Amino acid sequence: MWKFNPILKTKIWGGSRIARLHGIDHDGPLGEAWLLSGVPGSVSTVATGPDCGLSLSQLIDRHKDSLLGRLNYIRYGHEFPLLIKLIDATGRLSVQVHPDDDLAREIGSSHGKTEMWYILDADPGATLSLGFSRNVDPLDFPSLCASGGIVDCLNSHPVSTGDVFFIPPGTVHAIGAGCFIAEVQQSSDDTFRIYDYGRLGDDGRPRPLHTELAARALRFHATDGRPLPYTARPDVPVTVVRSPFFSTNVMTLDEPALRDYSECDSFVCLLATSGNALIEAKDQEPMVFFEGEIILIPASTDNVRITPQGTFTALEIYIKQ
């Protein structure tokens, strides 16, 4: 099992929640912390233990399918297939869309970007937008972007802690101000910015838009942008997302739990969303696991014991072929 150093990303819409959560002194607004990443140029490094300082890529080179799982290793090779991050939106993010695998490969990337959001915290009145509220004519799209009318075409929803949203590629979306989010996604940093409210970047110029690429990626029909329905159950993992790219369970623990991963054939990522816990596995050093941290459990680990220190909630993320 491994913990990793967060990779910090300054964003003009970011805030201070990530710095407070991780006890970090940081100049400028922190918009994202990449907790686990194999994205070139932003590869995670191990934070503690005998492998401290090794990169995620080096771990995969060393452990291969015993880390990723047999079928994941066949499918992804030495690539880590997920990017898991925290997003602190003090200001609203741009209206945007992500490509699917086919379009991503066409523009020279390895993967599209299917993602999910778990709301960690939200200011009163905070909202996000997901999907079009009505069918949009692709011919009208450029003028809607130019005028800002595209915002009026979006589903907008108030958000609360524990809400889960699933965002397939091609789905228009925008995170609103006041949202603190855990994001799970395919290993991709491709984003097509559609509308940015006339905002200026760090260089004092409007940030670039990607209208033509967005038009190729978008699904223009109306969609249901509401959060996914689920009911949290004490001490029982609840599956909230199951897709070809990742599956995610929500866990709320008040008592020790033994998780059996022997039939999973996948690495498992545990992301602590509130509270702390002790994580134990055979032949591995126990770890105290704090809110906002992620632990990567290799596919070769069959059983993990999680002992909460009070009430503990976490996301359990894996790839089931």
Catalytic positions, written as ranges: 193
Name residue 95's beta-bridge partners.
195
Tokens 């401290």 belong to residue: 52
How far are the Cα atoms of 67, 98, 236, 261, 280 from residue 301, in angstroms, in the given order? 9, 34, 20, 7, 11
> Which stretches does DSSP call E strand in 124-243?
127-132, 154-158, 164-167, 173-175, 179-186, 192-195, 238-242
How far are the Cα atoms of 34, 183, 250, 259 from residue 162, in angstroms, in the given order? 20, 13, 9, 22
Q: Pick the closest to residue 128 from 83, 92, 86, 182 (CA basis).
A: 92
Q: Which amino acid is at 321?
A: Q
Q: Pick the closest to residue 217 from 188, 238, 175, 197 (CA basis).
A: 188
CA distance 110 to 102: 9
With b meaning 16 or more CB within 10 Å and e meaning fewer, what string describes 23-41? eeeeeebbbbbbbbbbbee
Please state, as a whole number, how many other Cβ atoms lie within 10 Å of the Cβ of residue 263.
8
Tokens 């159950």 belong to residue: 233
* Beta-carbon contacts of residue 25 (< 8 Å; ≥ 6 apart): 19
Q: Pick the closest to residue 281 from 304, 300, 260, 262 (CA basis).
A: 304
